[in-house]
Structure 1
Amino acid sequence: MIFKLALAPKAETTDLKNPAPWFMKMFGYEAASGEQVTVNSALGVPAVYTCVNILANSIAKLPFQTFKKTREGGRERDKKHAVSKVLETRPNPYQSPFKFKHLVETHRNTWGNAYININWGIDGRPKELWLLNPAVTEPYVDVMTNTLWYHTTLPNGEFVRIGYGDIIHLTALSTDGVKGKPPIQVAREAIGSSQAAQKFKGKFYKHGAANSGIIKVPGLLNQEAKEVVRDEWEKANTGLNNAQRIAILDAGLEFQSISMPLKDAQFVEGMKYDKTDIAMLYNIPMHMVNELERSTHNNIEQQSLDYIQNTLSPIIKQWEEEFTYQLFSEPEQRRYYSKFNLTSLLRADQKSRSEFYKTMWEIGGFDINNILELEDMDGIGEMGEKRFVSLNYTTLDLIEEYQRGKANQSKGGEGNGAED
C-alpha cells in the first residue's frame, strides 16, 4: 500500500559555480557548445525524438500477456487474472495499454528511469498502474534499515514516500544498481552541438543564407548612421525572399564577407556525425533514422534482426522480470508470469510464414488453431486442436526395437528354409 508520509524538504543552497542537484535537474546541463540540454530541449533534436519514439513504439505495440504454468509442463494464457486486466485491458482509467507502455519507455529513455506506482485492490491484487513524474521522484536507501523508498511529489504538491513493494522501477544504464543514468545527460555534448547546429541553420535561412561581413563606407559615420546603414542592408539583402538576389551598392559602399560558407564548414557532415552519435547511444540502426547511404537490402534485414536481439531483448527482459516480481504474490510467482508476445516483430513475409507454419504443423509443434491465432484469425473448434505427425518419423528407441525385430525375423526365416 502507499505510505503517504509528509517529508520535510532538505534545505539546499546553490551558486553558479557549484549548482545543487535540484538546480541542475530543473534547468538542465550546459554542453561545451554553450547549449543548455534538458529533456524537453533534447526532444527538439530530430535524432533524439526519432530514437526515443522508435524504442517507445517498439515496446508499446507488443502485447504484454499473462501466463500460468500447467501441470503437464506447458503454459496457457490467463485472461481473467487481475494482472492481465491492467496489462492488456486498462492500466488506469486514463491510459490504454499502448499509451501506458509508450510513456513508460519514453520516461526510461529520457530521464533514465520510469517509476510506476501500483494501486492495490482490496483483494491484494493490482487494480491500477500509475506513472510517477520522474523529474520529482528519487529512490532513497535507508541505511539504518537497508530499505528502499521512493520520494516523490504528487501533482497537488504533496511530498510522499512510497515503499519499494508499491513501485515498478525500470532503468536505463545504472552505475549503482538503484537509479538509471539519463541517456540525454550522457550524450549532452552531441545533443548540445545538434541544438546549436539547428539554431545556426535556422538563423542562416532566416537571413537568406547570406554571409555575415563588413560594409565599407568612405569617410566616418556616427553610431546612429551606422545603425541606419546596417538596418537598410539587412532589409534589402536578408530573408528568404531576398535569397540569391543581386545586391546593388552605391555611394561608395563596399561589402566584404568574413564568414565561412556552409559547405566549407562541412555543416551537413557535422549534423550527420551528431545523428550517428545519438543513434549509437540508443543502439538504433542507422537505417531507422533515415541514414541509408551505407545500407543494402540484406544489410537492413540483418540490422533489423540485430535491433530485436541486441536492443529490444534486454529491455523486454527487464520489463518481464520487474512486472512479474512486483505484480504477482510470492506463491503466484511459482505459476504465473508476464511475457511479451514478439510474433509481430518476428513476422516475416507470407512465403516465409507459410513455410514455417507448414514445418511446425508437420512435426506436431503447432495445431491448426495455433496457426490461425498467429494470423489473427478465428479457430475452427476442437478439430483444430488436434496435432499431426508423419508416419515416416519415429523415436530412436523405436528404431532400435524395429531393427532388432527385423534381425530376429530374418534369422527365423533362414532356419525355416533350412528345415525344409
Structure 2
Amino acid sequence: MTAWWPFNRGASERKSVTELSLSQLSGLMGWIGWGTASGQTVSPLTALDVTAVFCAARVIAEGIGQMPVRVVEDVANGDGLPRLRMRQDHWAHRLLAIKPNDWQTGYEFREGMVFNAALAGGALAIKNTVNGQVRELLPVPPGAWSIEQRSDYSLRIRVDYSDKTHGYFELDQVFYLRGPSIDGFRGLPAIRAAREAIGLSRVLERQQARLAGNGGKPSGVLSFTLPLSGEAKEKLRDTWQQRYGPDGEGGIAVLDGDAKFHSMTMTNVDAQYIETRRLQIEEIARAFRVQPIMLMQADKAATFASAEQMFRNHVIHTLGPWVARWEESCARDILSHAEGLRVDLDERNLLRGDFKDQAEYYAKALGAGGTPAWMTQNEIRAEVGLNPVDDPAANRLSAGAMNPQGGNDGSV
C-alpha cells in the first residue's frame, strides 16, 4: 500500500505514531477481530470467508453501485411549481458518476465505499479540493483510519499511513459514509453484531470440510477382546487407514478376532448440518437486513409472484436506507449543502417489473383509462433508452377523455 499523499499537504500535519487513545485502540482491535463463543475470531477479513457474509455485503454494494448518479438542481419558477434540472455540466456529476479518482470508475467507488460501510460500519475517502471544488476522492482502506468526537462535539479523523506516521483531518476534509450508529458518529459494524452467527458458520464449514477430507468416513476406534502388541497395533492402524481412510478405496470391512469398530463422529444427518447451515444463512441475512432470497437461499414456498415482491422489498427496505445515507452524505461532504443542489441515486431501474407491468404503467402514464397523462411519449422513450421522435405531439401531455380541452407541453 502506498502512502496517502499528495493531497492537501497543508490541511493536516503528519506526526510520528507515539500513542493510541482508548477509542483508537478499540477500533484497531475491532479490525483485528472479535472473539465468539464458538472459539472463532471474527473480523471484516475473516468474515468474508463465509459466503453468506460476502454475498450480503456484495448485494448491498452492487445495488447502490449500479444506480445512476444525478446532480439535480431545484429551479423555482414564477408559478410556484417545483422544477428539476439535471446538472450533467456540474463538477460534482463528473466526480461522482464518472471519475472520482485516477484508478476507479464511479461504479467501483460507490461499490467499494458501501461494501466497506456495510461490513465495517463506515467508509472514508479524503477529498482533494481545489478552489472549492472536490477534484478527487481518495478512499482509505478499512483499519487505517479511526474517528473520534471532541468535547465540543466536532469530529476528527485519524489516518494511519504505510510509513508508520499518521495525519488528522476535519470532517469537512473527507467524505464519510457510515451505517447505523449507537453513539451517533461511529458506524456499528454488522459483523460485530452478527459475530456469533458468523463464527458458528465458520465452525460448521470447517467441520464439513474435515468430514469431506476424511472421505466422508467417520473416525473411530477399533477394539479387541485380546490384547495386541505395539507392532500389531501400528500395522493394523496403517492398514485400516490405507484401506478406509480419505484416499482409501473403502468398501465393506471384515473384522475378526472379536474386533469391534466404534464411530467417534456424527453423520450429516445426526448433526443436522443442512438445517443448521440454512439457519445460519438466515441469521446473517437478518443482521445485514437482506432478504434470504438475495443470498441465493431458495425458499420452497416462494413463487414467481412472491419472489418479485421480495426483490422489490430488497430495493425499498434494504437498499433504500443506503440510498438515503449516500445522498445525504454527498449533500454534506461534496456539495456542502449548496442551496438548490442535491445528489440523487435513481433506483427506478431496479423497481421495474416485467414487460407486461411496464406496458401497463406507461399506458396509464400516457393517459389510458381517461385520466390526464403525467408523462409524454418522449419522456417514456428516454426512460427506456430510445431516442425522441420529432412529432410535436410526442412532447405534449394528453388531457385524457375526461378533459376535452386538450393536452399541453410536458414542460409546463
Superposition TM-score, scaled by structure 2 size: 0.86
How far 1:177 moved relative to its partner? Answer: 0.5
Identity %: 22
Report what 2:395 is aligned to: 385
Q: What's the CA shift string for 1:341-375, capped at 9, x where partnerless? A: 11211111122212211222222421222101110
How far 1:13 moved relative to its partner? Answer: 11
Paired residues for 1:15-414 under 5 Å: 21=26, 24-72=29-77, 73-121=82-130, 123-143=131-151, 145-217=152-224, 218-222=226-230, 226-239=233-246, 242=249, 245-249=251-255, 253-289=259-295, 290-330=297-337, 333-362=338-367, 363-381=372-390, 383=392, 384-390=394-400, 392-393=402-403
Residues 26/297 of structure 1: CA separation in 2 closer, same or farther (3 Å cut): closer
Amino acid paired to 1:177: G
Amino acid paired to 2:282: T
Query: Would you tell me which structure has more helix in proportion to its own residues?
Result: 1
Residues 209/296 of structure 1: CA separation in 2 closer, same or farther (3 Å cut): same
Residues 369/182 of structure 1: CA separation in 2 closer, same or farther (3 Å cut): same
Q: What's the CA shift string for 1:12-55, capped at 9, x where partnerless? A: 699xxxxx636633531221111121212211111111111111
Q: Aligned partners of 2:126 and 2:322: how far apart in 1?
A: 19
Q: Aligned partners of 2:20 and 2:259: how far apart in 1?
A: 58
Residues 89/241 of structure 1: CA separation in 2 closer, same or farther (3 Å cut): farther
Residues 325/270 of structure 1: CA separation in 2 closer, same or farther (3 Å cut): same
* SS of residue in 2 equivalent to 1:260: coil
Amino acid paired to 1:142: R
How far 1:273 moved relative to its partner? Answer: 1.0
Report what 2:3 is aligned to: none
Q: What's the CA shift string for 1:221-256, capped at 9, x where partnerless? A: 44x76555434422221226645x223445664322
Report what 2:5 is aligned to: none
Q: Aligned partners of 1:40 and 1:216: how far apart in 2?
A: 45
Residue pair 1:287, 1:295 contacting (<8 A) in 2 also:
no
Q: Aligned partners of 2:15 and 2:236: how far apart in 1?
A: 61
Residues 94/286 of structure 1: CA separation in 2 closer, same or farther (3 Å cut): same
Residues 66/240 of structure 1: CA separation in 2 closer, same or farther (3 Å cut): farther
Q: Aligned partners of 1:148 and 1:227: how far apart in 2?
A: 67
How far 1:62 moved relative to its partner? Answer: 0.5
How far 1:135 moved relative to its partner? Answer: 0.8
How far 1:170 moved relative to its partner? Answer: 1.6
Residue pair 2:28, 2:143 contacting (<8 A) in 1 also:
no
How far 1:191 moved relative to its partner? Answer: 0.5
RMSD over equivalenced CA pairs, Å: 2.4
Amino acid paired to 1:6: R
Amino acid paired to 2:139: L
Residue pair 1:343, 1:374 contacting (<8 A) in 2 also:
no
Instruction: Answer with 1 or 2: which has the greater Rg.
Output: 1
Amino acid paired to 2:397: R
Residue pair 1:206, 1:238 contacting (<8 A) in 2 also:
no
Q: Aligned partners of 1:377 and 1:230: how far apart in 2?
A: 74
Q: Aligned partners of 1:321 and 1:394: how far apart in 2?
A: 44
How far 1:6 moved relative to its partner? Answer: 2.3
- Name stretches of at least 5 consecutive residues in structure 2 with no aligned partner: 1-7, 406-412
* SS of residue in 2 equivalent to 1:129: strand
Amino acid paired to 2:45: N
- Name stretches of at least 5 consecutive residues in structure 1 with no aligned partner: 15-19, 396-420
Q: Aligned partners of 1:22 and 1:281: how far apart in 2?
A: 20
